[in-house]
Amino acid sequence: MVLLSMTASHHELDLDTLERLSSGAGSLGRSAVGACDAITGAVVVATCNRFEVYLDLDAPVESAGVQHAVRHLAGLVADASGVDSAVAEASFRTRSGTEVAEHLFAVASGLDSMVVGEREIAGQVKRALEGARSEGTTSKTLELLFQTASRTSKRVSNETSLGGAGRSVVALGLDLAGAELPPWRQVRVVLIGTGSYAGASLAALRSRGCFDVRVYSQSGRAEIFADSHGVEPVDDLAVALEDADLVVSCSGARGRAGAGVARGHQPSTDAAGPAGETADESIGHVLDVAALVRARTRAAEAAGDAEPGRPMVVLDLALHRDVDPRVADVEGVLLYDLATLKAHSPALGSVVVAQARRIVDGAAEAFEGTRLGRTADAAVVALLDEAEVRIGDEVAHHVAAARAAGRVLLEDEVAELSRTARRRVHAELHTRIVEARAEALAASQAELAAVVAGAEAAVYEAESESAGR
């Protein structure tokens, strides 16, 4: 049994490439488990700045088996995203063995985030496991891995100040936006989206004293969200934009069937798509530049101004951009997207990070010992089963000998014979048990070392093939 993770994140890739790779993340776990017999479990973690797949492989622990799984998954990603399979494979960093737990625990604790110490990621990791459960793609090992990641994240939160300052992508975006806006109690906000990030954004706005919030949802969930969160729903985004100071968009709806701009408006058709694509890149943007210009023009006309005078900040928190990037060119509009936030992400004190890292490393070591110990325990159980047979034989021999001598042993005497035999046999087996467990652990660790080497060779080969094209 092998634990394997394939990671594409903002550390290694630009956000545009990451966006394209993760476009088919929703069905990847189910496809991986359904199409490859060796993959017995899969959990996909897809957030605003990472796309990761965790696999449980039931296959011989050898480099060839891991290479097959890596290439198979890269092919599925390529099919779903339209990216060349060699490029998809080279875009991922493959981890195996102890590295898998170390990485996931660091991710769940906010150590690997765009904003180090962010707390939203803990919930996203938890929801990734819940999603795998609902899809039927998790496994016992992945359950243990992700549950331990959540517990480790809580330890980091409780025992360090890493997440104490409310650091997050949402908070960073609002901090940058706030410098360009009126006092928060006067700010009028349009919130696009109704998911977990929308909830986090609303909570962050209220903590700053902003309560004039309207919510828009392309999928029709605005009223449900508004009722449960005490805000006003809107069904016409273009109208709501006319008097907005701040737009916070986190729906990630771009690319969905029927995606587009506000009701009654069509996306513009003069944007060039990514290389190799002929489709209009603006299609699918929830907030289109033409709709925004019209909304601001109408607002200016209603106010009797020749030009739109009220400044606006647009905060796009979606990896699959909700907002047409050309919005940044509109007079009086300031656009912050994930690339901007990444550039403004503040550093965190090394002492705090080191403290959190020690907790993560300790948890990963304990997890790996438990996981490998299961293999070693199988050898120990076999020895203990053998011991029980010996104990039973000895007790039966004494009972038979007493009966042959014309004496029937009492129940208490038989029980004492059994206890005496068990103590002696287990004492004799102690050295063999320690040796068997150590040998099984060493074998598992050697196999994992071979897996890591094989996986690294596979990635190097894929990168070489991609560079040679």
318, 15 in Cβ contact below 8 A? no
Helix (H) or strand (E) holding 188: strand 188-192
Round to whole Å and give the CA distance between 314 and 333: 7
Q: Is 93 helix (H, G, I), strand (E, B) or coil?
A: strand
Interacting residues of 299 by C-beta distance below 8 A, sequence separation 6+: 242, 243, 308, 310
Please count the other Cβ atoms lying within 10 Å of the Cβ belonging to residue 238. Answer: 21
Among 363, 345, 356, 358, CA closest to 111: 356
15, 76 in Cβ contact below 8 A? no
Q: What is the residue type of 309?
A: G
Among 112, 116, 76, 78, CA closest to 95: 112
Please count the other Cβ atoms lying within 10 Å of the Cβ belonging to residue 466. Answer: 16
Round to whole Å and give the CA distance between 259 and 261: 7
- For residue 346 the two structure tokens come to 């503040």
36, 48, 210, 250: the catalytic one is 48
Residue 346 CA to its chain's centroid (Å)? 22
Got the DSSP string for 153-176? HHHHHHHSSTTTT---HHHHHHHH
Sign of CA dihedral 175, 17, 250, 50: negative
Question: Which residue matches tokens 């700045």?
Answer: 49
Helix (H) or strand (E) holding 248: strand 246-249
48 annotated active-site: yes
Question: Which residue matches tokens 């209009």?
Answer: 280
Three-point CA angle 317, 118, 53, nearest 5° = 75
Helix residue ranges, H only, 190-347: 196-207, 222-229, 237-241, 289-303, 338-344
Q: Which residues are catalytic?
A: 48
